[in-house]
Structure 1
Amino acid sequence: MQPVPAAWLTGPELSLGRRGFRRISRRTLLVDAGLAGTFLLVGLLIDPPSSLLAVVVLVGFTAALAVRRLSPALALGLAWATALVQMAWGLPVLMSDAAILAVLYVTAAYAERAVRWAGLISVGVGALLAAGYLTLQPGLSSLSDANAQATLGRVIWSTVATLVASLAVLGLSWTLGLLMRTWQTARESRVTQQRAVEEQRVAQRSVVVEQERNRIARDMHDVVAHSLAVVIAQADGARYARAQNPEAVDEALSTISTTAREALGDVRILLTRLRQDDAAGPQPVLADLDRLVTQMQSTGLDIEWTTTGTPTTLGSGAQLAVYRIVQEALTNALRHGNAERSVYLTLAWTEGWVAVTIDNAVGVDSSTDHSGEIGHGLPGMRERALLAGGSLAAEPIGDRFIVAARLPAITTSALATPAATVPADQPTAPAAPGAVQ
């Protein structure tokens, strides 16, 4: 003996697994069975069966009532068979005939299209049969007997009135079922729409969170890579100068300590942002370039910073993009470039735009082609420039590596003051490629 399916035990859905039967819950099936039992008892009390056929009619309508939601097609068939037996044997109208209304209701509310149309047809055919049966059934054996007792006009009028009443009663039951079906469909549509809207909100929230995490990852890369490059350069310089210049060791250690503390603070803020959306993260601005250049120069990197044109106001996104691009490019120049040759940093201001160029020499150990390597540096710089409404190009040319970005400005206003400025008509340092990512 096979065990009872778990779905039957928990009561979600029951089905005979055959065509024409609906999936209904165990509770619904028990409720329908209870209503059918009550209907049978009430029928026995109101219309005590006078014959075996009366019992058959009552049982037939009770069965149709019991299975009406499990199988509307079967219920409609049982109702028709029982009604035909009742009319064939000339039984009077019984209380159990009310089950026909419930059957017509479910054919419109729950049945498939074919059974639903069969229910509508049953309304018309059933009304015709009921009108004829109710007109001729009460004690009349034939139409001639009816004519002997009443005029033909009265018989026709009685038939028409009965037909209209039957159509109204049967049609109302079917129409109410159709209205219930329409209401359920509309409710399911609203639920589906609400679910879709909620899923869209969840998806949008996930996209926003993912974008924020990617931005934080870029910031983390910029902070950690820059700080570690400075620490490594200072540590190596201190180790080489320890014997000849002990004072340089103290200066290097001080720089290492300051850089590490700043990096640790930035990393803590970034990690806090991963847990709290409203936490303030590090947002460097254009005025912080002075501190950045000074910090990189303290590592031994020779940076020549020039500015041309009249500085104008940049948006916060553009200022952050400029800072991060310069930070990444200088860090790469320190890690991969030739530290014995100068790095040229240029900010060229024009009407509505600022062009940032970082030009450094390629190091001796960086002559190998690394074009196949994909890291966070160049993609991160390009993405920052694009998000700020600008563009970025980075490529090696000869023995130098050039990073060139162009970002939009807002209004005319003085901003950062570089370490050294040159007149607009004085030529800047020649551009050449530098370090490889």
Structure 2
Amino acid sequence: MDEQRAREHGPARRRHHGPPWGDPPDAADGTPRSRLPWRTTVALTVLVLVGSHAAARAQPHREPLDPYAHLLLLGACGLLLWRHRHPVPVAFGTAALALVYLGAGYPYGPVLAAVAVACFSTVVAGHRRAAWAALGMLWAGHLLIALWLYRRLPPPGDTGATPGQEMIIASWVLIIVSLAELVRLRRDQWARERAERAQAAGRRADEERLRMARELHDVLAHSISVINVQAGMGLALLDTDPEQARSALTTIKAASREALGEVRQVLDTLRAPGDAPRAPAPGLGRLPELVEQAAGAGLTVVVTGKPPRLLPGADLAAFRIVQEALTNVVRHSGSRHARVRLEHGGGKLRLRIDDDGPATGAEAGGSGNGLAGMRERAAALGGTIEAGARADGGFRVLAVLPSDDREDR
């Protein structure tokens, strides 16, 4: 249900956080919107028609607005319905109709607003050269009409344009393109920011999934290893030593209960990441409990050194590293003895876990998920992990994690 709700409301949220101007494309790949911009086009059409009649009253020397003039005005505005789907043809089409309108001697006025909107949309859509070309065509055509063809075109008795008037037209063209370029740059910046936010959210989700996978692996691998050893012992002693078999079953029950509790805690944080956990995260303070669990699996662990006080993240990582190292001894080593040594000083905590080997069963090298998880935990804190066989046939895990210097003194 949560995933379905996210799918239903996700696009709406993306549209809500868009830029304050216009409507961004609906599709993620930037394809144009499916709806035509009826409301803005109708509003602009009314503005152009009303403004053109007002301009005609102020320019009595120009040709009066007749049905052909209205047809040209409606055609230029009507093309704007497709300015999002086909911005380049609309830009050239509105520029051409405006040029015909002015060449026919009709009054100057809001017809140029249709060209401005079309070229603005073309620049924002990324077709900068096409917008420049359309505006250049309009200005060049107007120069031709105002400086040379005005004698042959209506209205009769028209005079040529002055350089100042042409500079005004050129300034108008530059203002349109400059504003469109500013909007395009802002939209590109907004798109980059949205992509960066999406990538950051994806990275956070990946890191959270990886953290959960490490937690579940460490909890389940250790507990199941203890259960496996005790189950084998219980089966072997079921007929010859029922009391020892009962003790093995008791250990299995305790280990499974502990594993269920830790798995439930991990899943609770996954379901409600904003809520506080029901139990504190494990740390080196639970090292005696870990030694007891290992003893239940037939492994004797000798701990030397006093655990320092660490920040919660480092404390959890240190505990999981020791837990995983002891789990590997249970699963992959023929030795039933392990040594854990803790040293801290100089802002560093050094964990060393040794067994005397030899390796049995699966390969005990660093290619498994457990050792990879230990390395990821240490690397996330700025520490290091070294794991490998010793010259005498045993195996060693050496972890160096950062600690607080004030706590070392």
Paired position in structure 2 for 1:407: 401
Alignment partner of 1:78 is 2:100: yes
1:328-367 maps to which residues of 2 (within 5 A)?
328-339=324-335, 341-363=336-358, 365-366=360-361
Are the counterparts in 1 of residues 346 and 408 from structure 2 also a CA contact under 8 Å? no
For residue 333 of structure 1, report the CA deviation from its aligned partner: 0.5
Is the partner of 2:405 in helix, strand or coil? Answer: coil
Give the letter aligned to residue 349 of structure 2.
V
Q: What is the CA-CA distance between 1:347 and the residue it aligns to?
A: 1.6
How many correspondences in the alignment?
341
Shift of 1:385: 1.3
Cα deviation digits, residues 391-420 of structure 1 (max 9, x gap): 1111123532111111222135489xxxxx
Give the counterpart of 2:288 among 287, 290, 298. Answer: 290
* Counterpart residue number, 1:113: 132
Q: What aligned pairs does 1:173-192 form with structure 2 within 5 A after superposition? A: 179=175, 182-192=178-188
Q: Distance in 1 between matches of 2:114 and 2:184?
A: 18
CA shift at 1:26, angstroms?
Answer: 7.6
* Aligned equivalents of 2:103, 2:185: Cα separation in 1: 37
Cα distance in 2 for partners of 1:331, 1:237 equals: 17
Q: For the structure 1 residues 163 and 238, does the alpha-carbon distance in structure 2 shift closer, same or farther, using more than 3 Å as the test?
A: closer
Find the aligned partners of 2:262 and 2:316 in 1 and give their Cα distance.
Answer: 14
The 1:32–1:350 alpha-carbon spacing in structure 2 relative to 1, beyond 3 Å, is closer
* Aligned residue in 2 for 1:152: none
Cα drift, residue 59 of structure 1: 4.7
Shift of 1:327: 0.2
Distance, in Å, in 1 between the alignment partners of 2:109 and 2:188 is 32
Q: Which runs of 5+ in 2 are unaligned?
A: 1-22, 24-33, 58-62, 80-92, 120-130
Q: Could you tell me whether the CA contact under 8 Å between 2:314 and 2:402 is conserved in 1?
A: yes
Residue of structure 2 aligned with 1:66, choices 58, 74, 80: 74
Are the equivalent residues in 2 in contact too, given 1:359–1:403 (CA < 8 A)? yes
Going from structure 1 to structure 2, the CA distance change for 1:284 and 1:369 (only over 3 Å counts) comes to closer
Deviation at 1:267, TM superposition (A): 0.7
Consecutive unaligned residues in structure 1, runs of 5 or more: 1-11, 13-22, 47-53, 84-96, 141-158, 416-437
Q: Distance in 2 between matches of 1:275 and 1:369?
A: 36
CA distance in 2, matches of 1:414, 1:28: 70
Q: Tell me how far 1:117 sits from its aligned partner.
A: 2.3
> Distance in 1 between the 2:329 and 2:35 partners?
72
Larger radius of gyration: 1
Match of 1:225 among 221, 225, 229: 221
Match of 2:272 in 1: 276
Paired residue secondary structure (1:284) = coil
Alignment of 1:90-101 (within 5 A): 97-98=106-107, 100-101=108-109
CA contact (8 A) 2:135 2:173 kept: no
CA distance 1:163–1:348, change in 2 (3 Å): closer
Change (3 A) 1:215 1:36: closer
Moved more, 350-359 or 323-332: 350-359
Matched to 1:119, the amino acid is L
Aligned partner of residue 330 in structure 2, secondary structure: helix
3-state SS, counterpart of residue 305 of structure 1: strand
Name the CA distance, whole Å, in 2 between partners of 1:36 and 1:338: 90
One-letter code of the match for 2:72? A
Aligned pairs for 1:206-221 within 5 A: 206-221=202-217
1:299 aligns with 2:302: no
For the residues of structure 2 that align with 1:106 and 1:296, how far apart are their CA atoms? 81
Look up the SS of the partner of 2:228 in the other structure. helix
What's the RMSD between the two structures over aligned residues?
4.3
Is residue 61–residue 78 contact of structure 1 (8 Å, CA) maintained in 2? Answer: no
State the 1:317 CA deviation.
2.1
CA–CA distance in structure 2, aligned partners of residues 129 and 328 of structure 1: 90
Aligned twin of 2:376: 383
Q: Does the 8 Å CA contact 1:353/1:409 hold for their aligned counterparts?
A: yes
Q: Contact 1:306 / 1:345 at 8 angstroms: preserved in 2?
A: yes
User: What TM-score, normalized by structure 2, do the two folds share?
Assistant: 0.68
Q: Deviations over 1:52-73 (max 9, x none)?
A: xx89x84543343233253124
Larger relative contact order, structure 1 or 2 (CA cutoff 8 Å, min sep 6): 1
Q: Distance in 2 between matches of 1:34 and 1:187?
A: 23
Q: Report if the CA contact (8 A) 2:99-2:138 is conserved.
A: no
- The answer on whether the counterparts of 1:226 and 1:328 sit within 8 Å (CA) in structure 2 is yes
Q: Kindly provide the amino acid, as one letter, of the partner of residue 386 in structure 1.
A: A
Contact 1:357 1:404 in 2 (8 A): yes
Name the CA shift for 1:32/1:221 in 2 (closer, same or farther; >3 Å): closer
Q: C-alpha separation between the residues in 1 aligned to 2:268 and 2:309?
A: 30
| Aligned-partner Cα distance in 1 for 2:287–2:302 | 13
- Asked whether the 8 Å contact 1:72–1:106 carries over to 2, the reply is yes
* CA distance, structure 2, for counterparts of residue 239 and residue 233 of structure 1: 10
Q: How does 1:252-263 map to 2 (within 5 A)?
A: 252-263=248-259
Q: Deviations over 1:244-287 (max 9, x none)?
A: 54332333222222211111011111112222112427621111
Q: For structure 1, which segment, 354-363 or 178-187, has the greater mean C-alpha deviation from structure 2 after superposition?
A: 178-187
* In structure 2, distance between residues paired with 1:211 and 1:249: 42
1: CA distance between counterparts of 2:363 and 2:368? 14
Q: Which moved more, 1:120-129 or 1:189-198?
A: 120-129
Cα deviation 1:361-403 (Å, max 9, x = unaligned): 335643x7575x8431111011111122211111123532111
CA distance 1:390–1:163, change in 2 (3 Å): closer
